[in-house]
Amino acid sequence: MARESATRTEEVFDDIRADLLNGQLVPGQRLKLVALAGRFGVSLSVVREALTRLAEQGLVVSSPQRGFSVMPLSIDDLSDLTKTRIQVESLALRESIALGDLKWEAAVVSSFHTLDRTPANGEDGRLNEDWPITHRAFHQALLSGCQSPRLSGIVTALRDSAELYRRWYWALTEDQVRDLAGEHRALRDHALDRDADAAVAALTEHIDRAPRKLIAYAREHNLEDPTHPPAKA
């Protein structure tokens, strides 16, 4: 019975997490245990355990008064996170361009090729779950030449902190004119040309575009939560 309960908790966790990441549950929305238990045909304890795990990942917020709810969208946190990411990733990119060797160049070329051949959208119109994996791999390869495990670790932690915001951008905003393939191609070319200034300028716009669009959407639809504290990296 314990193993069956653990399996059901895992299934409920995966389903709710998918709804969160695909924008089916909007920022700040209350998550009603009874309704979720009925939807999945499980006990309240199974739902509560799944939501507790999501809270540990920073996707859900738990409070004594309101119970569980989707993490609010904090414009202050998103702005601060974006500014910090630009500063740190720009440093890592400059170091990679200065120090990267032939192996680094090969990794950038290879990871870009995989990303370029991976469609961003699936047949159902939602984000293709393979794309974030290849996208992450390309950016890791691009900055891997910095030769600093500590700097690389900070970059990864900050990118992970931005994941839910990035998913909300995909699900909630309309940005059809964006040429993601062109942005990544420019990053590859500037890096391989060892043009640090051009590469950093391209990276800055690449990082800033999604938060800028999401902040505009949040203000237009009154989704912002200025009281929400910054998320932990």
Residue-wise pLDDT tens digits, 139-190 = 999 999 999 999 999 999 999 889 889 989 988 888 878 999 999 999 999 9
3-state secondary structure of 70: strand
**Given pLDDT bands bounded at 50, 70 and 90, which one contains residue 1?**
very low
- Distance, in Å, from the CA atom of 173 to the CA atom of 33, rounded to the nearest integer, reads 28
Task: Give 67-82 pLDDT, tens digit per residue.
Answer: 999 988 999 999 999 9
End-to-end CA distance of the chain: 36
**Given pLDDT bands bounded at 50, 70 and 90, which one contains residue 225?**
low
**pLDDT at site 226:** 47
Dihedral sign, Cα of residue 89, residue 70, residue 67, residue 47:
negative
C-beta separation of 70 from 20 below 8 A: yes
**pLDDT at site 231:** 43
pLDDT surpasses 50 at 126 = yes
Residue type, 120: A
pLDDT surpasses 50 at 230 = no
